[in-house]
């Protein structure tokens, strides 16, 4: 009676889901907002470029044999003195700006993305634990979050980076820099998720379907993972999208301050830092293009997150 295996009609179910999605209000709201469509397209293009950077970058900027000091400080190709090989010009070491931007984009996105992911995981986990168990657990976690929130983000990440520099020998810094940056940014971002999720968890915990599950013999872990977490993720998604642009900017700031990515593995922030020194000597392109890309990047994610906030608000449906 219980152990038979009726084949689940997977294909019709997927087709059903696709039709439901294309017909949904969410998609309709999306097409209505022109600015969001533009922002989304930018995000998509940027992500594509980042993923394919290895193939579309005209020069490999990590291989010191491929660039030549003779090519340094060349302006963009459409200006006089420019070289067709280097579309957006070169920096002081003779590296192609366009290729540098692509690699820098890659690094910025990876660090930003992973740190947000870690923040979300840490924040949701602590928030659910806090809201579900209450009492001492709740007090400890929330007061810890309060303490973390009172420390400014940049200061904390500076602190972490500073300590890392002392502890880790200089030769290995290049390997560890991305991980340290990611960890530092992740540690400063989890609190907002924890707080939001905690409130929602307390709400969901008292609902009848959770009670029904408990009566049927569910363990606390089962309830937290399978019932609570799926129902508290919606605002987290929105916050994460907005947080992504903040994380990217934080990493850029740190690199700009010189405590982020090293110059041989530049992120967009490092490039801006370098280029800044040459701004008033006339080589504006070294800083202008990476800066423009950073602006477009964070603006696009920000606008997308903003739209998601309104679109996923059930009261506005």
Which residues form the interface with another protein (CB under 8 A)? 1-6, 8, 13, 25, 28, 207-209, 211-218, 222, 227, 230-231
Least spacing, CB of residue 18 vs another protein, in Å? 15
Least spacing, CB of residue 52 vs another protein, in Å? 35
Q: Name which of 82 and 199 has its Cβ closer to another protein.
A: 199
Least spacing, CB of residue 202 vs another protein, in Å? 14
What residues contact 25, with CB distance under 8 A and at least 6 apart? Answer: 317
- Quote the tokens at residue 308: 């998601």
Q: Name which of 169 and 217 has its Cβ closer to another protein.
A: 217
Q: Name which of 8 and 70 has its Cβ closer to another protein.
A: 8
Least spacing, CB of residue 286 vs another protein, in Å? 49
Q: Are 223 and 213 in contact (CB under 8 A)?
A: yes
Give dist(CA 49, CA 52) in Å, integer.
5
**Integer CA distances (angstroms), 11 to 19, 127, 278, 301, in order:** 12, 37, 59, 33
Q: Which own/partner pairs from 79-86 qualify as long-range (CB within 8 Å, at least 24 positions apart)?
A: 85/58, 86/59
Q: Name which of 63 and 208 has its Cβ closer to another protein.
A: 208
Least spacing, CB of residue 220 vs another protein, in Å? 10
Q: Name which of 58 and 230 has its Cβ closer to another protein.
A: 230
Give the count of beta carbons closer than 10 Å to the beta carbon of residue 47. Answer: 15
Give dist(CA 41, CA 183) in Å, integer.
29
Interior angle at CA 270, CA 113 and CA 246, nearest 5: 35
Q: Name which of 140 and 212 has its Cβ closer to another protein.
A: 212
Least spacing, CB of residue 307 vs another protein, in Å? 17
Q: Name which of 31 and 280 has its Cβ closer to another protein.
A: 31
Rg (CA), the chain: 24
Least spacing, CB of residue 201 vs another protein, in Å? 14
Q: Are 115 and 189 in contact (CB under 8 A)?
A: yes
Q: Are 264 and 103 in contact (CB under 8 A)?
A: no
């Amino acid at each position: 009676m219980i152990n038979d295996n009726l084949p689940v009609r997977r294909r019709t179910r997927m087709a059903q889901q696709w039709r439901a999605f294309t017909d949904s209000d969410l998609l309709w709201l999306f097409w209505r907002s022109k600015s969001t469509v533009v922002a989304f397209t930018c995000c998509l293009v940027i992500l594509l470029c980042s993923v394919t950077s290895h193939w579309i970058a005209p020069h490999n900027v990590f291989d010191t044999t491929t660039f030549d000091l003779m090519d340094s400080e060349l302006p963009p190709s459409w200006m006089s003195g420019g070289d067709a090989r280097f579309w957006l010009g070169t920096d002081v070491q003779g590296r192609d700006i366009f290729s540098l931007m692509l690699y820098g984009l890659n690094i910025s996105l990876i660090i930003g993305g992973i740190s947000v992911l870690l923040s979300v995981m840490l924040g949701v986990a602590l928030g659910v634990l806090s809201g579900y168990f209450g009492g001492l657990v709740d007090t400890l976690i929330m007061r810890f979050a309060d303490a973390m929130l009172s420390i400014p983000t940049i200061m904390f990440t500076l602190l972490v980076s500073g300590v890392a520099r002392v502890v880790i020998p200089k030769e290995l810094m290049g390997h560890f820099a991305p991980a340290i940056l990611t960890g530092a940014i992740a540690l400063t971002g989890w609190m907002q998720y924890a707080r939001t999720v905690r409130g929602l968890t307390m709400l969901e915990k008292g609902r009848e379907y959770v009670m029904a599950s408990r009566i049927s013999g569910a363990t606390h872990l089962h309830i937290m993972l399978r019932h609570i977490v799926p129902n508290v993720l919606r605002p987290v998604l929105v916050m994460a999208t907005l947080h992504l642009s903040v994380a990217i900017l934080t990493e850029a700031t740190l690199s700009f301050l010189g405590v982020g990515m090293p110059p041989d593995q530049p992120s967009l922030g490092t490039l801006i830092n370098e280029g800044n020194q040459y701004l008033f000597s006339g080589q504006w392109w070294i800083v202008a293009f990476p800066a423009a890309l950073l602006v477009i990047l964070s603006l696009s994610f920000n606008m997308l997150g903003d739209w998601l906030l309104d679109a996923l608000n059930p009261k506005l449906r």
